[in-house]
Amino acid sequence: MFDGLKDKLNNFKSDVEEEATEDGEPESEAADGDAAEPETEAPEPEVADAPDAGDETETATADADADEDRGLMERAKLAATGQTVIEAEDLDDPLEDLELALLSSDVEMGVAQEILTGIRENLVGETRAQVQTAGQLVEEALHDALVDVISVGQFDFEERITDADKPVTIVFTGVNGVGKTTTIAKLSQYLEERGYSTVLANGDTYRAGANEQLQQHADALDRKLISHEQGSDPAAVIYDAVEYAEAHDVDVVLGDTAGRLHTSNDLMDQLAKIDRVIDPDMTLFVDEAVAGQDAVNRAEEFDDAAAIDGAVLTKADADPQGGAAISIAHVTGKPILFLGTGQDYDDIERFDPEVIVSRLLGEE
């Protein structure tokens, strides 16, 4: 999962470490522990003969050399105490390469800029102890910048289910063919394994065969499906499912809706009616992780047209880039809650920003 992006982030760590080392960082000495003691005093600069009066060029050159000597002395002192400092210029080329790498991994441009800003703020002027490498320092900065970007809006899904009045109604929306119906079945299994009973509702009354598709999942999971004939009012279907849940003490109603584009006015009107009639506790946007920037754009458009509470990304196991996973929360302000990772009902996992970033950086 996200192997392509993982490789690009590791390349960035190596590039910055190399830049810092080339600037005089005693990496091998820090690693060995037996290295010779560094000089604690910089050599005295040679004293030139006094310049002729009025020779401003030579005076300016001497001042510049003195400034450089002072800079070298400061670095020598840091080296002597087992520390180094990362300068802004150390980051210029690696950050430029990282920006291109992020954009080529379908990370949204504004999100890429946010990551670069976070890395620069976390690194420039930072010193490290002798037990650290520059790579460790860079990894910490990358970790913090990525977590900040993808943690936007995160909430505890199960805690919200537990605290809400029952039945909890969750409506799923998105375009056709992204795995919305299968995601509903997976979340039914996920919730039942954690002690919550579920009922399925087919509010996709627009598509031929939708009832049969969701019925197959209901039969496989031994769940009740509430459905009406094709062309029926989807709000009425989900309303009936809520009434069934109330009558039978079912905890969660999972309601499918017709796949739609944000430009499909009639279908968007259906969503608005469901909101008015049902007032769902959550509306979740479903799309494919492999859709990359398209998924990011659609999430933003759906959130503008009918506010979502979170997103589920399917086919995350087949996505080498990770751009959608990095970008959606920051662009919409709404969290990614789950990743679909396969075809089986238990192939779904909670989206944990710390876990995702640790995988990207090879920390686990």
Q: How confident is the model at residue 167 (pLDDT cuts 50, 70, 90)?
A: very high
Q: How confident is the model at residue 2 (pLDDT cuts 50, 70, 90)?
A: confident
Position 315 pLDDT exceeds 80: yes
Q: How confident is the model at residue 281 (pLDDT cuts 50, 70, 90)?
A: very high
Residue 81, pLDDT score? 44
Q: How many residues does the chain have?
A: 364
Position 227 pLDDT exceeds 80: yes
Residue 192, pLDDT score? 96
Among 123-132, 133-142, 172-181, 296-305, name the one with the lowest average pLDDT: 123-132
Residue 40, pLDDT score? 47
CA distances from 347 to 19, 182, 293, 325, 338 (A): 42, 11, 24, 17, 10
Between CA 115 and CA 354 the distance in angstroms is 15
Residue 143, pLDDT score? 85
Among 6-10, 95-99, 140-144, 244-248, name the one with the lowest average pLDDT: 6-10
Report the relative pairing of strands 252-257 and 198-203 from DSSP bridges.
parallel
Q: How confident is the model at residue 337 (pLDDT cuts 50, 70, 90)?
A: very high
Between CA 202 and CA 68 the distance in angstroms is 72
Cis check: omega of the bond before 320, within 30 degrees of 0: no
Q: How confident is the model at residue 301 (pLDDT cuts 50, 70, 90)?
A: confident
Residue 358, pLDDT score? 85
Between CA 182 and CA 168 the distance in angstroms is 19
Residue 133, pLDDT score? 58
Per-residue DSSP letter, 45: P
- 233-266 pLDDT, tens per residue? 888 999 999 999 999 999 999 999 887 665 566 7
Residue 104, pLDDT score? 83
Mean pLDDT for the chain?
Answer: 79
Position 291 pLDDT exceeds 90: no
- Quickly list DSSP for 309-321: SEEEEE-GGG-SS
Q: How confident is the model at residue 77 (pLDDT cuts 50, 70, 90)?
A: very low
- 175-211 pLDDT, tens per residue? 888 899 999 999 999 999 999 999 999 988 878 788 8
Which domains does the chain carry?
Answer: 3-38+51-150 (1.20.120.140), 157-352 (3.40.50.300)
Residue 131, pLDDT score? 39
Q: How confident is the model at residue 7 (pLDDT cuts 50, 70, 90)?
A: confident
Alpha carbon 182 to chain centroid, angstroms: 23
Buried b (16+ CB within 10 A) or exposed e, 192-207: beeebbbbbbbbbbbe
- 25-55 pLDDT, tens per residue? 444 444 444 444 444 455 555 555 555 555 5
Percent of the chain whose pLDDT exceeds 70: 74
